[in-house]
Amino acid sequence: MLFSPYTIRDVTFKNRIVMSPMCMYACDGEDGTVHNWHLVHYATRAVGQVGLIIVEATAVTPQGRISVRDLGIWDDNHIDGLRTLTTLVHEQGAKIGIQLAHAGRKATVSGEIIAPSPIPFDETMRTPKEMTKEDIEETIHAFQQGARRAKEAGFDVIEIHAAHGYLINEFLSPLTNKRTDEYGGENRYRFLSEIIEAVKEVWNGPLFVRISAHDYHPDGLTVKDYVEYAKQMKAQGVDLIDVSSGAVVPAKIDAYPGYQVPFAETIRREANVPTGAVGLITSGLQAEEILRNGRADLIFIGRELLRNPYWPKTASSELGISLEAPKPYVRGW
């Protein structure tokens, strides 16, 4: 199954291997633009036969960057570089997505940082400003404009980053959202909901959302809460939930091979929505087990693809599958 095609809307991925979005911090000009590193990095994984490559967290505002070296999509000037990247990846037979992001209180750029409530991540980080309704509206519009630019740049998939303690995740969790207005309490999902609707106004392709399915805190959210959120996302037209966990507050996480897969499995089963599994998945056999047992629909590979850009070849050998080589590599394949 790992090497079977998978179709969402009118986009078909040649296999179920997804390069997970991973920050590269490689924007030397600190202006959010694509540099040679990005062109080499992502195109290499396309040559390596990854089915879908998702570009790292790409900031929808300058203020929303995790660091000043993050990619950006807050300005039309970013489109040309991103279009060059999508063209390179498409030439090698892969599909390409982009993760639209805002770091919220975890931003380390200079100037004011914003969050749903004025609570710092920890004692080493700054206290954010509580967002006004105007701030909220401007940020929703920024996500929409990011989606428009992604479409113009030729991306096949958009993933909204609602995980890992960044801005949208901060609205979802009761640990970080202490608001008493229409974006707090029982309405913590509203911010994400309005972003989804805004994005859909300008984007009709496959739409993913990455979530953190467990806060790892006694007063935080668990996968049961995210089943309910996932049902709402599905009703809004989200095609797949990319299921990660943690990082909304400091926490000790017992990470082991496949430790997040049960979250993807639970959401897939109980919300009846396609999911992606991610987190210490390193072998073809492990990936195949996840798919064959109906625990997820796509396999997101992160650090293993940093170590081995040709991991699909390694996985195919483990599974006894003959994977077609790029023609220039046939002699060594």
> Is 328 annotated as a binding-site member?
no
Q: Which two tokens stand for residue 224?
A: 């049961």
> Is 307 annotated as a binding-site member?
no
| DSSP assigned state of 324 | P
> Is 16 annotated as a binding-site member?
no
> Is 99 annotated as a binding-site member?
yes
> Is 23 annotated as a binding-site member?
yes
Residue 76: CA count within 13 A, CB half-sphere: 0
Residue 311 backbone phi and psi in degrees, to 5: -55, -35
Radius of gyration, CA atoms only, the chain: 19
> Is 164 annotated as a binding-site member?
yes
Question: Of 283, 290, 293, 291, nearest to 319 (Cα)?
Answer: 283
Parallel/antiparallel/unpaired status of strands 275-278 and 129-130:
unpaired
**Environment class of 25 (CB within 10 Å of its CB; exposed 0-12, middle 13-18, buried 19+):** middle
Total Cβ atoms within 10 A of residue 311: 23
Q: Which two tokens stand for residue 237?
A: 């037209």
Question: Of 73, 74, 97, nearest to 86 (Cα)?
Answer: 97
244 close to 213: Cβ distance less than 8 angstroms: yes
> Is 163 annotated as a binding-site member?
yes
> Is 101 annotated as a binding-site member?
no
> Is 303 annotated as a binding-site member?
yes
> Is 294 annotated as a binding-site member?
no
> Is 142 annotated as a binding-site member?
no
**Cα–Cα distance, 197 to 272 (Å, whole number):** 21
Give Cα 250 to chain centroid, integer Å: 20
Question: Of 30, 62, 71, nearest to 153 (Cα)?
Answer: 71
Residue 88: CA count within 13 A, CB half-sphere: 21
> Is 57 annotated as a binding-site member?
yes
Torsion on CA atoms 188, 202, 160, 175, rounded to nearest 10: -20
Parallel/antiparallel/unpaired status of strands 95-101 and 157-162:
parallel
For the annotated binding site for FMN, the residues are 20-23, 57, 99, 210, 302-303
For the annotated binding site, the residues are 20-23, 25, 57, 99, 161-164, 210, 302-303
For the annotated binding site for substrate, the residues are 25, 161-164
